A and B are shown apart, each in its own frame.
Chain A
Amino acid sequence: MYDKNYISITPSEVIEYLYCPRFIYFMSYLKIPQHESNRFKVIMGREVHKTKANINKNYLRKKIGVKDKFIDQKLYSKKYKIHGIVDEVLFLEDGSAASLDYKFAKYKDKTFSTHKYQAVMYSMLIEENFNIRVDKAFIVYVRSKNLLKEFKIDKNQYSKVKEIIDEIIQIIKKGYFPKRTKYKRRCPDCTYRNICIE
């Protein structure tokens, strides 16, 4: 039976939590929409995802040892209480699998921790749903001429993600008002800046 107390978290919510924990309070507890679709970069990013999902459906990145792939794969994990759509699930020649995510962004000499956490969550989803080993993840930076970056999945991050998920669930269930991010320079660009208090 459907349990209304059951909460499942998406990687986007974790990213937003990492940006500022209050995002979750406003968005998922008070249910105030952030109207992110008014943002031009978000619109462009969604267009890119649509295009990428429709062109070269059968193309396999052989250079990185891909032998099969699933596009726009919806996955759900009961164990970790997460769900999400992976842009591409890649099955590699070495018997492992990896997630591939398209980012409408430029590569700035480092992979942001938010992107890494997202990839870790995708790996958790892939491992559980396909019962397969996941050692690495890929990100394609569309605005850097589709630059492909590979990074290792650190299993220690699984427990960190689990901690974050538990905190998010606490905020949503109990409506506790979290402290805002310590990085004040994020505030001017936040969609909730008008209703957030000091």
Chain B
Amino acid sequence: MLVWFIYDIVEDKIRKRLSDKAIEQGLYRVQMSVFLGNIDNNLLDELVVYAEEMINPDEDSVYVFPMCQDDFRKVELLGQAFDKAMINDEISSLFL
């Protein structure tokens, strides 16, 4: 499933832990607090449970937006854009 994982977290330590977890689960960092990627349901669920445990619900916010492939194709990128094929797992290996 293609999802956007976005957060706004006050405490540095918690923010770092959550970003590490998002990367560990296979998401790509698009901006500082914005992640995107093709993720298995169970791994996403684990990330959500982890976020639920970590955040302070009175101050922080975490959003998970699923996105269908049709809509992803319509995404417009300006400026420092990310690689759409990589996010969508269309590139299986990367040679630098």
Taken together as a complex, chains A and B put the C-alpha atoms of A185 and B39 apart, in Å, by: 11
* CB-defined contacts of A44 to chain B, threshold 8 Å: 49, 53
* CB-defined contacts of A59 to chain B, threshold 8 Å: none
Question: Which of B7-15, B40-48, B69-77 has 4 or more CB atoms under 8 Å from chain A?
Answer: B40-48
Once the chains bind, are B49 and A41 in contact (CB under 8 Å)? Answer: yes
Size class of A's contact patch? under 10
Q: CB within 8 A of B49: which of A40, A185, A188, A189?
A: A40
Is the contact region of chain A dominated by helix, strand, or loop, or is it mixed? helix
Size class of B's contact patch? under 10
* CB-defined contacts of A188 to chain B, threshold 8 Å: 40
Min Cβ gap B82→A in Å is: 22
Q: CB within 8 A of A189: which of B40, B50, B53?
A: B40
Taken together as a complex, chains A and B put the C-alpha atoms of A44 and B49 apart, in Å, by: 9
Taken together as a complex, chains A and B put the C-alpha atoms of A188 and B26 apart, in Å, by: 11
Min Cβ gap B96→A in Å is: 23
Taken together as a complex, chains A and B put the C-alpha atoms of A185 and B43 apart, in Å, by: 12
Once the chains bind, are B46 and A39 in contact (CB under 8 Å)? Answer: yes
- B-contact bits for A134-153, CB 8 A (1 contact / 0 none): 00000000010000000000
* CB-defined contacts of A40 to chain B, threshold 8 Å: 46, 49-50, 53
17 contacts between A and B (CB under 8 A): A39-B46, A40-B46, A40-B49, A40-B50, A40-B53, A41-B42, A41-B45, A41-B46, A41-B49, A44-B49, A44-B53, A143-B49, A185-B40, A188-B40, A189-B40, A189-B42, A189-B43
Q: Which residues of B contact A (CB under 8 A)?
A: 40, 42-43, 45-46, 49-50, 53
